[in-house]
Chains A and B, each alone.
Chain A
């Protein structure tokens, strides 16, 4: 057997092709990996791992739920209990749209060592729904007619408070005074004074107090904290955060239950300290639209955005707040604004500087909201060295004029329009054969926290942390300090809008700087615009 040169040429001609392609592929992959790791090495960002929480051992925590409306149901699901009605609704939704995995996710959720023992809701239908859904042969759920009955019964270890805002503090204080653990929805309080009273109660109580800012559990936010602490962004001078909604639900025009009547609703108890108005279904189901019970955009949604950033930056209470806006999109009898711009000033705050000492200091936090447009505007942290988009995903772009990255920009190892860091709970690379892998990056709702491959709801994590601290001690991520800062900042925004002037915080006295002739809490509670209610001047 003899092969001529021609034979070998024909037979082995493909070999150099294979070699060349292999070499090129390896060089491409390794080259881009090296380039990336050089940048990443310089940035040294550590993506956060899921929080390790000690188990909730021993006897189950006996939980009473106060308020079983929209949020109350969500919180109860986070505890592991869904109503039959919801399950059926989700089953049908999943049949219609296989992408709807809410029931599946709920069923995959880790079981918490809790026992639902009581419900307190002033609307009979909701209380009955709770009892019918969660009572079992060996666990008869009890209905308490007032929150005090429940808290003082000695039968509950912990309460979950999901009521209108004006009830948050009185209920929390009552529970804390009785050493009953509290998980309360945001905003933590409805007035300035309550904020101090609640802080005192929490500090003097043996019970664990947690505020429902579940964002604190989102892994991207703890990673964002690392990014900022490492000086990746340089000095952040401006934060832009937004709310954009354009639907009835987003504007708090929730459904009014057909069975709602003075017979089925304990109206007097609902009102509590609020102005005594006759029975009004609109007020009951859509309470977020009135200052008497709610706190409008500033307490309802700004509080989330503020706390998201406070958890990343720990910037505390702003030195001053100016707000403006109005009722421009839903002139339906509400008295909270539906468009608002809030500027919070932090003149002494810095995330660190890459430039001459003293050149950079101070930051503005700018919250912009409308209930009349749904265009999604991202949260952006703008620093001298880089810009970060903050969400479930994180993206960091270098700034063209950055001092820190000047060399790498000069050497074209970084480009201003190319992200230098991207965090995604389940990141991926591009795939050209299929040409559609980048679909992954499209915002399709894939941006959840994954723990051991299971998509997990951050509210569940937040409640699990609270329960773990109840059993094992430790610190909740959103406790009284964080709640205090959030509540004061939100109240400053609401006050500024109502008064049409700047509200200032005095860190020395830990109080709002007084304005002559104005009682802040009367302003906050006043249902109409402050300036047309002169008789309320304190």
Chain B
């Protein structure tokens, strides 16, 4: 049983680090590219929440939207790769992915442009979102990550 637990923890840790890797890379690339903006992604939004996304592209809002997107990506990236406060990271990530998913949902009847596969209702954004839920349910930072040191410290203090 204990061995199985360890296998599960190792797998989820790997999942956590790779998702963190993905988000961190996106965040860093955007941060170092001053020309990057989410304008196009939002302006071409489709589906039931199109009104919401097109509302964000105004002059006053787009800068905030871009900055918050980068910050959110980096928060997920840092907490997941470092293995600390990952539950907060998971909540941020679920929110971010939900927005990505709803901006261009793979619903029948909507044109799927420039996607690398074929999707019906479920796409990779949604799958990554569910993976975030798994990470929320099974925090592994204390198994591998900064949380391990934090928890250990607490333990030492208790002793």
Contact = CB atoms under 8 A, between A and B. Distances in A.
B149 A21 contact: no
Contacts, number: 147
Contact of B44 (A14, A28, A446): A446
**Which of A15, A29, A439 neighbours the largest number of chain B CB atoms within 10 Å of its CB?**
A439
B144 A10 contact: yes
Contacts of A444: 44
Contacts of A434: 41, 100, 103-104, 125
B39 A26 contact: no
Interface in B6-46: 17, 20-33, 35-41, 43-44
Interface string A432-467: 111111111110101000001100000000000000
Interface string B67-87: 000000100011001110000
A281 B10 CA distance: 81
Contacts of B124: 435
B56 interface: no
Contacts of A432: 26
A11 B116 contact: no
Given A428-B39, A435-B124, A439-B44, A29 B32 contact: yes
Interface string B121-136: 0001100000000000
Contacts of A8: 149
A18 B97 CA distance: 21
A428 B157 contact: no
Nearest to A435: B115
Interface in A26-76: 26, 28-30, 33
Q: How large is the interface on B (under 10, 10 to 19, 20 to 34, 35 or more residues)?
A: 35 or more
A431 interface: yes
Contacts of A453: 58-59
Given A11-B149, A446-B43, A18 B24 contact: yes
Interface residues of A, number: 43
Contacts of B149: 3, 7-8, 11-12
B145 A431 contact: no
Contacts of A437: 38, 40-41
A25 B144 contact: no
B28 A29 contact: yes
Given A10-B144, A14-B83, A431 B35 contact: no
A224 B145 CA distance: 54
Contacts of A536: none
A431 B115 CA distance: 12
B145 A442 contact: no
Contacts of A429: 33, 35-37
A438 B114 CA distance: 6
A17 B59 contact: no
A373 to B, nearest CB: 23
A29 B29 contact: yes
Contacts of A28: 29
Given A1-B156, A434-B104, A439 B82 contact: no
Nearest to B84: A14
A78 to B, nearest CB: 23
B21 A21 contact: yes
A10 B148 contact: yes
A522 to B, nearest CB: 53
Interface in A83-101: 98
A18 B41 contact: no
Contacts of A3: 149, 152
Contact of A436 (B32, B39, B115, B153): B115
A427 interface: yes
B1 interface: no
A434 B148 CA distance: 32
Given A426-B39, A436-B44, 5 more contacts: A10-B143, A24-B25, A433-B100, A438-B40, A444-B44
Interface of B: 17, 20-33, 35-41, 43-44, 50-51, 58-59, 73, 77-78, 81-83, 100, 103-104, 113-116, 124-125, 143-149, 152-153, 156-157
19 contacts: A10-B144, A11-B146, A11-B152, A14-B145, A21-B21, A21-B25, A22-B28, A25-B24, A25-B26, A25-B32, A28-B29, A29-B31, A30-B32, A428-B39, A429-B35, A436-B103, A436-B115, A439-B41, A452-B59
